Structure 1
Amino acid sequence: MLAELILAILIARLMALILDRFEIPAITAYIITGIVLGPSVFNLMSTG
């Protein structure tokens, strides 16, 4: 579970760095990443 969380954080940070070049705030990148990596799409996070 920790590995999945770290992977999600790294993807969010990478997305923030990419969108920063277009002067888009980091919070927007985090929201987009949350939508894309939602539990219904990839089912990354285990429950329990």
Structure 2
Amino acid sequence: MNLNRFKNDNRANSSLVIDHMVAEAEKQIEKMTGEKVTLIVRRPGRWA
């Protein structure tokens, strides 16, 4: 999984990028384990 995809895109909304990476990670874990998972993301600053 390539997490550096958005690194140089200043236009990207960081929370959308995080949501996208989380969704990708959930899919990968589901493929490996066969179970549906939900990752909980703690974003520093805004909702801490």
Pairing of 1:1-48 with structure 2 (within 5 A): 3-21=13-31, 22-27=33-38, 30-31=39-40, 34=41, 38-39=43-44
Gaps of 5+ in 2: 1-11
Gaps of 5+ in 1: none
Compute the RMSD of aligned alpha carbons. Answer: 2.3
TM-score, length-normalised on structure 2?
0.50
Q: What CA distance in whole angstroms lies between the structure 2 residues aligned with 1:24 and 1:8? A: 22
More helix by share: 1
Equivalent residues, number = 34
Q: Sequence identity of aligned pairs in percent?
A: 6
TM-score, length-normalised on structure 1?
0.50
